[in-house]
Structure 1
Amino acid sequence: MNRYQNVLVAIDPYSTYQPVLDRALSMVDNPAQLSLIHVTYPQRYFGPYGGDAYGAEMAQDWQTKNIEQINEIAQKNGLPLSQVYTPEGDAADEIHAHAKNKDCDLIVIGTHGQHGLKLLLGSTANAVLHGVKCDVLAVKI
């Protein structure tokens, strides 16, 4: 079996992620061949008069919490912390950019696979699938 060498695993640490990570780990010889990514959507809060009352502080706290959570997942699964990425932005765009910049040969992402052909993949998994240059494995959660 031809093994993948550089795999990007996109997870949501606040959802069911372990089956996605387990599938990715089964496709490589060494956990160091994996990169873990969790993209945070920009969090902004605007007060009643348009001011950013606590928005910047709240967004920083949320991003710090995300980084701690994803680092814990990486350590628990034997992945190097140097290969953990927590960018902020549009999930599909950030996953595409990271896969291209790091020359990934596979992206593994979870999907809830709801009803009907249109809903076969979740919106993020569907967006990642389109426009990417490497293989994509959608793991049904």
Structure 2
Amino acid sequence: MYKNILVPVSFEADRNAKGAMEIAKSLRAEGGQITCLHVMEQLPQYATEYLPAGHLDAAKADIVESLKELTEGVEGATTLVVDGHSSRTILAHANNNDVDLIIIASHQPGMQDYLLGSTAAKVVRHAHCAVHVLR
């Protein structure tokens, strides 16, 4: 059982965030904690100029609400929304917070993932703790 579980959450259609939370609940030790982390990727400056005022703040508020729904009723669960690069931010959070398990949902890999690498693949390759990948 694990005392400090990190569940990076992406709200893309092919990611199973609910399934990742179920696994986290079943693998958490008594008194352990689960952190649901969403990383908001930085948009290039030129792209943000074309967004309506307040768009990013509204998107972040929607994400916070979705994470709250995902963790509702889960003992020891917290949510966190941060800005950054997905894999680097996930790995940094895990290293800085003594995470002992990362549960990450992944999509079925395509050719682009073999050439460039997906977030889940980068987390698996570089994490200093156990990683459970959910497909």
Aligned residue identity for 2:61: T
Q: What is the aligned partner in structure 2 of residue 8 from structure 1?
A: 6
> Is 1:64 matched up with 2:38?
no
Identify unmatched segments of 5+ residues in structure 2: none
Counterpart of 2:3 in structure 1: which amino acid?
Q
Structure 1's unaligned 5+ residue stretches are: none
Name 1:39's counterpart in structure 2. Answer: 39
Q: Identity of aligned pairs, percent?
A: 24
1:52 and 2:49 matched:
yes
TM-score normalized by the length of structure 2: 0.79
Return the offset for 1:9: 0.8
Bigger proportion of residues as strand: 2
Can you list the C-alpha shifts for 1:1-21, whole angstroms capped at 9, x where unaligned?
xx1111101122353311111
* Higher-Rg member (1/2): 1
User: Aligned pairs, how many?
Assistant: 130
Cα distance, 1:126–1:6 mapped onto 2, change above 3 Å = same
Provide the TM-score with structure 1 as the length reference: 0.76
Question: By how many angstroms is 1:42 displaced?
Answer: 2.4
Higher relative contact order (CA 8 A, sep 6+): 2
CA RMSD of aligned residues (A): 2.7
- Alignment map for 1:68-79 (pairs within 5 Å): 68-79=65-76
